[in-house]
Structure 1
Amino acid sequence: MKTVISLQQYIKKHPKVQRAFFILLGISCLLPFFSAPLALVLGFFTAISIGNPYEIRTKKLTQLLLQFSVVGLGFGMNMDSALKAGKEGFIFTVLSIIAVLLLGFILMRLFKIERITAYLIAAGTAICGGSAIAAVAPVIKAKPGQISVALAAVFILNAAALILFPLIGHWLHLSQHQFGLWSAIAIHDTSSVVGAGSKYGTEALQIATTVKLARALWIIPLSFFSVLLFKNKEANIKIPWFIGCFVIAICLNTYVPMIQTLSLYLVSLAKAGLMLTLFLIGAGLSFKVIRTVGVKPLLFALVLWFFIAAASLLVIVGQ
């Protein structure tokens, strides 16, 4: 035990050694036996044991890696299947977004949580986690502290979902189709949706990714709604560009034979990028982040998440 502690102290005191260990552990996620949940857990334990020497860069790199990985996964999909999945998830998406936002308004009063923080958490739960929070925050003039609490709350539950959802799916004997649809609706961030889908199977991954990205487009109308709700006429609304690139990738894979010969390699690179993304996400989660949230915002986020997860599961299984 003393040897382990002294090794940790040695690594933390020597930045070059710390960086080398961090990079080595990140690269290890590319090994064939690594799964999405394992990559996330390894990132978390790396952060709490030896620290994250790239803490500032991690957030930007995580976002870029995720976006390129999602686009890469598009090269493994067919347009007909994607349109079918997107069409099926449309009604679920509309109803779930409205339900979560309404429940968020009720719980905000019940838990007595500050309005902007509650709205950010509800937006992240309703659409696509951190991406929705990042898009809505400047529109409603959220302060850095409010954004941090909302991101941390959603981030913690998002990490838990990546591990729990595949286990629940197998326990309930959900089909690939059912699990893909459920994870796209009930898991916050695209990263964990894709991670859970890849863990469950190829069909689940394709449905989960397509429905989730179609859902992410609702950031745009939600941003316009937020402008009206918070009366901020000077807001700049951001459009998620990588979703358009994802659609282009599907089109190329479906209609361009030459691209189809490269699809296997492109998808493999995308999955490798996703593993690194999940490792970096785990490396950004620490006990300090957990303490930042506070009890009330975390309970607020937990109730919202449980509601959307349970309600959507009942509807999907009942079909």
Structure 2
Amino acid sequence: MESNRLQFWYGMIFTLLIAIISFGIARLPVFNYIGPLATAITLAFIYRQLFGYPYKLKAGIQFSAKILLRAAIVLYGLKLNINVVFSEGLPLLLKSSVVIAFAILMSYALAKLFKADMTLSMLLGVGTGVCGAAAIAAVAPIIKAKDEDTAVSVGIIALLGTIFSVVYLLIRPYVPIEDVAYGIWSGLSLHELAHVALAAEPAGEEALGFALLAKLSRVFLLVPLCLIFIWYMRRKESRTGGAKVAFPYFLIGFILMSLLNSYVIGDYIEISAQIMDSISQLTTLLLTMAMIALGLNISIKDMAGRTLKPFVLILIISILLSVLVYQIK
């Protein structure tokens, strides 16, 4: 019993140490564009290929992959201000619905057409349409995705988001678009919140504000999207006689944190910006530890041949999405 407890804590500490190293590497040139999540998955992937999966630490690693991941998603709700979305972002909410529907339906249709791996394609479609890693992590248990599929999807989205945000920065001077419209374009089309901030910040505070608002309108739609997936999977399982789809109760925590941030903090409870920033950093740390745990499940042998088609398809969809959003911004 004592040995099992130690292995659990060693597994937790193992993911924490790699996360800390990832944060350090992510501060270096080039890596600062990639971010700690993609860096962490890369390190975990390299470790797995060189040394294999550390089975003695499995209990703690699985805790990071499951429990810490859900805790991070719950805390992620503090990044969403529902009141702001409703009061200032209703037009953006409608456009975000179009963006999410386009990304997911195109992923499904192209995966069917080109016989790409459907689970990977759907996770990538969700990550592209909504909010990258957090959306993938929220939807993965609903569609019963494997841990390695979740990790690979997060890694691909991080890579594509970084490339696209840099491209946006490079082409901005040559695109006939005003700063605010550019911010909305970035917020509605780029993959992660960090990618949106990276691309929009040089356009000024107003452009960055609209970019983040546009991105938050996509985050807001994560919960209804998850409910749609739950309905679809339960309908599918009822026809095939498969195991019942469990409700992801951590989404309730996400909603509660969103409501707390929107209607309680600032109005009834005063929390300093420093504390909120610390909570945000904790959220990123927990998510990074979870990504490391997931990344350790990626085996080149097992994944070979499954990732190329989904990667190419989501690259095409991301390009088409950028063009579509540019037209409707």
Secondary structure of 2:289 counterpart: helix
Return the alpha-carbon distance in structure 2 between the equivalents of residues 313 and 213 of structure 1: 20
Residue in 2 aligned with 1:294? Answer: 303
For 1:56-67, list aligned pairs within 5 A.
Answer: 56-67=62-73
Cα distance change on mapping 1:283 and 1:31 into 2, 3 Å: closer
Unaligned runs of 5+ in 2: 1-8, 127-134, 173-180, 202-207
Does residue 1:40 correspond to 2:51, yes or no?
A: no
Cα distance change on mapping 1:248 and 1:268 into 2, 3 Å: same
Cα deviation, residue 268, structure 1: 1.0
Cα distance change on mapping 1:310 and 1:162 into 2, 3 Å: closer
Residue in 2 aligned with 1:71? Answer: 77
Return the alpha-carbon distance in structure 2 between the equivalents of residues 245 and 101 of structure 1: 31
Does residue 1:249 correspond to 2:281, yes or no?
A: no
Cα deviation, residue 154, structure 1: 1.3
Give me the TM-score of the superposition, normalised by structure 2.
0.67
Does residue 1:26 correspond to 2:25, yes or no?
A: no
Does residue 1:223 correspond to 2:241, yes or no?
A: no
Residue in 1 aligned with 2:278? Answer: 269
Return the alpha-carbon distance in structure 1 between the equivalents of residues 82 and 223 of structure 2: 20
Residue in 2 aligned with 1:143? Answer: none
Residue in 2 aligned with 1:304? Answer: 313
Structure 1 residue corresponding to 2:105, chosen from 98, 102, 107: 98
Deviations 1:40-79 (A, max 9, x none): 3553465446988653332135413422431221359724
CA contact (8 A) 1:39 1:278 kept: no
CA contact (8 A) 1:166 1:196 kept: yes
Cα deviation, residue 26, structure 1: 1.9
Secondary structure of 1:262 counterpart: coil
Question: What amino acid does structure 1 have at the position aligned with 2:260?
Answer: A
Residue in 2 aligned with 1:140? Answer: none
CA contact (8 A) 1:77 1:253 kept: no
Residue in 2 aligned with 1:8? Answer: none
Q: Alignment identity in percent? A: 9
Return the alpha-carbon distance in structure 2 between the equivalents of residues 107 and 295 of structure 1: 17
Cα deviation, residue 37, structure 1: 3.2
Return the alpha-carbon distance in structure 1 between the equivalents of residues 22 and 163 of structure 2: 23
Question: What amino acid does structure 1 have at the position aligned with 2:289?
Answer: L
Residue in 1 aligned with 2:169? Answer: 170
Question: What amino acid does structure 2 have at the position aligned with 1:67?
Answer: I
Total equivalences in the alignment: 278
Q: Identify which range, 89-98 or 284-293, moves more after superposition.
A: 284-293
Secondary structure of 2:306 counterpart: helix
Unaligned runs of 5+ in 1: 1-14, 112-117, 138-145, 188-192
Cα deviation, residue 158, structure 1: 2.5
CA root-mean-square deviation = 3.9
Cα deviation, residue 267, structure 1: 3.5
